[in-house]
């Protein structure tokens, strides 16, 4: 079982909250057990009693009782070479502080009911030369493909989280829709509110703005649309495009008057996080682009749509 441990806080963990440190290092330790250990002074910081909200500092000493049983989560497992290759193949940009993935459609960002494989569970393979795995700083829907940003250290996790919160990271999506928006460009200004499992446009909902422009169209039948969310509501682009009568192909939740299934193209959600502008983070022009999935490109060819 092991005895009492003294752990020195590393520079990259400077400022982290105690409960967050335990969530990462001892994922099977419940919050109630952590609180009990703190209350009974079995966990101390620099020899003093601490709280879950205590912020740790570089060089501080953390006293821990035997916690071997909580070290590994029941769901943790050593990644296979195949899984490691799988997630490493998604990397489209990497430097000292940031990794950008081109996430495939159908792969969830985090675990949930009936979700065995997800990005969060594969991040160990993206440590490379670092001592800790990268951190998720935002999410995209399971069925949406494209840009997913990861922070390689706590400093940039905070920087990127702040940038997403303040909307200084501009994201561009591509969507293949049924019908054609009219006018061909504009801003959808319809407030959204969650009703059941869907986001719906309601007068007193949360402010939601989406800029869009039609890149190409097949008359009024189909169109390739560029969309830029100016706010960050759940399912915003999907709900907004449905609300103007042009739902995204392959959408099982926001499909307008009827769900269209075409035998000639892959039946997936045709929404792709195409590009992210990291200029505000780097202080110089920096765009990262995620190539379209093969099925998306093939559908554009089938419909005769050009980028």
Quick check: 24 pLDDT over 80?
no
In 3D, which of 167, 176, 117, 120 has the Cα closest to residue 144? Answer: 176
Domains of the chain: 5-71 (3.10.290.10), 81-164 (3.30.2350.10), 170-303 (3.30.2350.10)
CB-facing half-sphere around the CA of 13: CA atoms within 13 A: 24
Whether 141 is catalytic is yes
Residue 290 has pLDDT above 50, yes or no: yes
How confident is the prediction for the chain on average, in pLDDT?
91
CA atoms within 13 A on the CB side of 151: 19
SS3 content of the chain, % helix, strand, coil (to 5): 25, 30, 45
Q: Quote the pTM value.
A: 0.78
Question: Looking at per-residue confidence, does 80 or 24 come out higher?
Answer: 80
Q: Of 13, 141, 143, 251, which residue is the catalytic one?
A: 141
**113 has pLDDT over 90:** no
Q: What angle do CA 33, 34, 38 make, to 5 degrees?
A: 115
Q: What are phi and psi of 136, to 5 degrees?
A: -70, 135
Max avg pLDDT among 22-26, 68-72, 240-244: 240-244
| 3-state SS track over 46-107 | CCEECCCCCECCCCCEEEECCCHHHHCCCCCCCCCHHHHHHHHCCEEEECCCEEEEEECCCC
Phi and psi of 92, rounded to 5°? -115, -10
């Amino acid at each position: 079982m092991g005895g009492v441990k003294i752990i020195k806080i590393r520079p990259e963990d400077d400022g982290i909250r105690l409960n967050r440190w335990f969530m990462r290092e001892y994922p099977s330790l419940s919050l109630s057990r952590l609180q009990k250990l703190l209350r009974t002074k079995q966990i101390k910081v620099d020899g003093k009693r601490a709280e879950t909200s205590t912020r740790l500092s570089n060089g501080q000493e953390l006293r821990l009782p035997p916690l071997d049983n909580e070290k590994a989560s029941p769901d943790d497992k050593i990644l296979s070479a195949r899984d490691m290759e799988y997630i490493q193949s998604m990397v489209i940009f990497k430097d000292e502080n940031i990794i950008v993935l081109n996430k495939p459609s159908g792969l969830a960002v985090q675990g949930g009911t009936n979700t065995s494989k997800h990005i969060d569970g594969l991040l160990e393979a993206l440590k490379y030369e670092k001592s800790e795995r990268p951190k998720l700083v935002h999410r995209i829907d399971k069925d949406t493909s494209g840009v997913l940003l990861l922070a390689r250290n706590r400093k940039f996790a905070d920087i990127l989280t702040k940038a997403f919160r303040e909307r200084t990271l501009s994201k561009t999506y591509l969507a293949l829709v049924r019908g054609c928006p009219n006018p061909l460009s504009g801003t959808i200004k319809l407030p959204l509110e969650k009703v059941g499992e869907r986001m719906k446009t309601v007068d007193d909902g949360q402010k939601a703005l989406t800029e869009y422009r039609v890149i190409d169209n097949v008359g009024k039948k189909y169109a390739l649309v560029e969309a830029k969310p100016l706010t960050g509501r759940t399912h915003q682009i999907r709900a907004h495009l449905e609300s103007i009568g042009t739902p995204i192909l392959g959408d099982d939740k926001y499909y307008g008057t009827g769900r269209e299934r075409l035998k000639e193209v892959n039946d997936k959600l045709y929404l792709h996080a195409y590009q992210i502008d990291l200029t505000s983070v780097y202080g110089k022009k920096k765009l990262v682009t995620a190539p379209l999935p093969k099925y998306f490109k093939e559908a554009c060819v089938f419909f005769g749509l050009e980028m």
